[in-house]
């Protein structure tokens, strides 16, 4: 059964499987539709509906004192809006530089071209630049199709896409040409030394101010910014005018973009990046710094729980089927295969270092990686694949009890929570789905408590718009309110033996006690 068929069936079911309906509040559909308003530079004027159905204005604080950083120094929302509008207009005239012509660079370049921005694709590898135009054409065609703006006649649409790319795209390996753009989006490999070297070279080359952003998915913005000068040292490229600007794969299907502020990021910089995100038809959400930021931090418990269930003896096909029946677009094992098991392993190590008590130590990913079963990129991981095309409908599950037994003798991470069997193998499908959802709920609540985002609704938007969480459930918090928070906390007590990840956050305990 396809993921779409699974989701259609889920909408017709009840209990943990069914669509969320919160009595006395706006519907899940209305709640999700409101995400399109964005959580960016216009946040003071955005109305949030809370779980009781009442309306309250979102404050502008997220730009200046999330995680205790970045004061406005007298600037107000109008100042930010003016700065953002000027930057967007300048980028439309002089173009946007995309540093890195890999998968994400090409996808982001297509998004800007599709919104009418000239683009310079920069890369140090001639082969990447040579193939970039055709790859961008293919991505732009898919983005236009999904936005519903493609021409009805395929030949006309193909010609139009080719013209957009031919007229709007420039390719170059010159830092001088890149530095001539008022906005640069860095998409080079996730290695801090490589990124730092790039930033330093750009800063030395630039002769005019640049808004520099990074598509990093895992490296803290403040750590990256350490390679940049201050504004007093270099008025053109500096840490005050630097922030994260994280798109999600596949860009054509994910409408969210995270704008991540570091310790030195100026409030106006965040507003500029959020406005650019909105200008290319994405929903910007402003988040604090830290491991995984918002979206990947919420993805981690989903993937972690999938591996934990495997370790406890739940068959791979059942893990995937339960998650799809709940309504996720894809199961955790398929997602790791599409990301790349080596990339998933690296991300897992990041979370193990940051949250060892809540991340399960498992030999599965290290052993699969050691055997060069990296997922789609090698045509084999948890699944077998016929092609290298992301998310193509050609996956066959290839992980059974015999494979698990072979992998269990391998190495695990040196730190992390041990995998503890709390009866998953004998649990019902509904119990397993509830356990996975609860792991996501608890980590999402911790994010709000820590100030990575300010509201439950922002976390819900991240899940639905970037991770394929079932929109008919509204988001993890909307779903929890509808399903019953006290029921969820009672269930979590049954899994207490699995470790700290099932210790309910204080904010949820308080809400449950208040009814």
- pLDDT for 223-250, tens place per residue? 999 999 999 999 999 999 999 999 998 9
| CA triple 143-300-303, angle to 5 deg | 85
Among the ranges given (18-27, 209-218, 396-405), the one the predictor scored with the smallest mean pLDDT: 18-27
Task: Tell me what pLDDT residue 417 has.
Answer: 64
Q: Is residue 211 part of a domain?
A: yes
Q: Does one domain contain both 231 and 264?
A: yes
Q: Are 352 and 208 contained in the same domain?
A: no
Domain of residue 271, CATH code? 3.40.50.720
Q: Is residue 88 part of a domain?
A: yes
**Domain assignment present for 50:** no
7 belongs to a structural domain: no
| pLDDT (mean) for 377-398 | 95
29 to 98, 289, 478: CA distances (angstroms): 35, 30, 11
Examine residue 146 and state whether it is found in any structural domain, yes or no.
Answer: yes
**What's the domain range around 128?**
66-287
Q: Is residue 368 part of a domain?
A: yes
Q: In b/e form, how buried is each residue of 411-421, taking b as 16+ CB within 10 angstroms?
A: ebbeebbebee
336 shares its domain with 352: yes
Q: What's the alpha-carbon Rg for the chain, to the nearest Å?
A: 23
365 and 274 both lie in a single domain = no
Within this chain, do residues 169 and 117 fall inside the same structural domain, yes or no?
A: yes
Please tell me the predicted confidence (pLDDT) of residue 418. 64
Asked if residue 152 and residue 98 are part of one domain, the reply reads: yes
Domain end (from 242, 267, 287): 287
pTM of the model: 0.87
CATH number for the domain that contains residue 347: 1.10.1040.50
274 shares its domain with 308? no
Which of 9-23, 24-38, 296-310 is predicted with the least confidence, judged by mean pLDDT? 9-23
Look at residue 390 in the predicted model and tell me its pLDDT. Answer: 86
Q: Whole-angstrom Cα distance, residue 29 to residue 246? A: 26
Residues 411, 414, 415: CA angle, nearest 5 degrees: 130
Contact 245, 269 (CB under 8 A): no
| Region 44-48 average pLDDT | 33
Higher pLDDT, 58 or 436: 436
What is the total count of domains within the chain?
2
Q: Is the pLDDT of residue 45 over 60?
A: no
pLDDT band at 81 (very low <50, low <70, confident <90, very high): confident
Which of the listed residues 228, 252, 287 is the one where a domain comes to its end?
Answer: 287
Q: Do 241 and 384 share a domain, yes or no?
A: no
283 shares a domain with 304: no
Whether 29 maps to a domain, the answer reads no
- Check whether residue 390 and residue 461 sit in a common domain: yes
Is-contact 170 84, C-beta < 8 A?
no
User: Strand ranges (DSSP E) for 327-468?
Assistant: 360-361, 383-385, 395-397, 417-418
Cα–Cα distance, 186 to 221 (Å, whole number): 12
Q: Residue 27 pLDDT > 90, yes or no?
A: no
Lowest-pLDDT choice from 18-22, 65-69, 86-90: 65-69
State percent of the chain over pLDDT 90.
Answer: 74
Same domain, 318 and 341: yes
Domain boundary (265, 287, 309) is at 287
Q: Where are the beta strands (DSSP E) in 357-492?
A: 360-361, 383-385, 395-397, 417-418
In a domain, 49, yes or no: no
Same-domain status, 236 and 253: yes
User: What tens digit of pLDDT does each residue of 112-132 get?
Assistant: 999 999 999 999 999 999 999
């Amino acid at each position: 059964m396809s993921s779409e068929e699974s989701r259609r069936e889920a909408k017709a079911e009840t209990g943990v499987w069914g669509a969320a309906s919160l009595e006395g509040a706006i519907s899940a559909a209305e709640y999700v539709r409101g995400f399109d308003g964005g959580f960016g530079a216009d946040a003071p004027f955005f109305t949030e509906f809370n779980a009781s159905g009442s309306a309250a204005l979102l404050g502008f604080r997220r730009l200046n004192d999330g995680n205790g950083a970045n004061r406005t120094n007298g600037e107000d929302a109008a100042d930010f809006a003016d700065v953002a509008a000027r930057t967007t207009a300048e980028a439309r005239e002089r173009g946007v530089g995309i540093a890195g012509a890999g998968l994400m660079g090409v996808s982001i370049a297509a998004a800007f071209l599709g919104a009418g921005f000239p683009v310079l694709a920069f890369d140090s590898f001639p082969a990447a630049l040579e193939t970039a135009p055709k790859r961008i054409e293919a991505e732009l065609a898919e983005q236009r199709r999904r936005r519903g703006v493609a021409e009805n006649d395929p030949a006309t649409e193909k010609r139009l896409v080719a013209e957009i790319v031919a007229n709007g795209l420039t390719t170059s390996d010159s830092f001088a040409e890149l530095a001539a753009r008022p906005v640069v989006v860095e998409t080079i490999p996730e290695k801090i030394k490589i990124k730092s070297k790039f930033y330093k070279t750009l800063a030395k080359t630039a002769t005019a101010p640049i808004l520099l952003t990074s598509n990093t998915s895992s490296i803290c913005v403040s750590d990256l910014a350490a390679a940049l000068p201050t504004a007093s040292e270099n008025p053109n490229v500096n840490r005050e005018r630097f922030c994260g600007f994280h798109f999600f794969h596949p860009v054509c299907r994910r409408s969210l973009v995270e704008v991540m502020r570091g310790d030195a990021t100026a409030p106006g910089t965040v507003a500029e990046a959020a406005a650019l995100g909105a200008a290319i038809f994405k929903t910007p959400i402003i988040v604090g710094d830290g491991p995984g930021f918002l979206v990947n931090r919420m993805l981690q418990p989903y993937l972690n729980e999938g591996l934990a269930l495997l370790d406890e003896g739940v068959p791979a096909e059942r893990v995937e089927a339960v998650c799809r029946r709940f309504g996720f677009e894809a199961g955790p094992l398929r997602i790791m295969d599409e990301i790349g098991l080596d990339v998933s392993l690296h991300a897992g190590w990041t979370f193990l270092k940051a949250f060892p008590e809540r991340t399960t130590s498992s030999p599965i990913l290290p052993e699969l990686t050691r055997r060069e079963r990296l997922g789609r990129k090698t045509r084999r991981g948890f699944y077998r694949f016929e092609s290298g095309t992301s998310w193509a409908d050609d996956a066959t599950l290839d992980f059974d009890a015999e494979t698990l037994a072979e992998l269990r003798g391998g190495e695990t991470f040196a730190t992390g929570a041990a995998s503890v069997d709390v009866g998953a193998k004998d649990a019902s499908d509904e119990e397993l789905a509830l356990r996975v959802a609860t792991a996501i709920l608890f980590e999402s609540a911790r994010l709000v408590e820590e100030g990575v985002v300010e509201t439950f609704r922002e976390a819900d938007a991240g899940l639905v718009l970037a991770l394929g969480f079932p929109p008919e459930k509204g988001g993890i918090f909307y779903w929890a309110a509808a399903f019953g928070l006290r029921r969820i906390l009672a269930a979590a007590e049954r899994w207490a033996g699995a470790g700290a990840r099932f210790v309910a956050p204080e904010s949820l305990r308080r809400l449950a006690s208040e009814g």
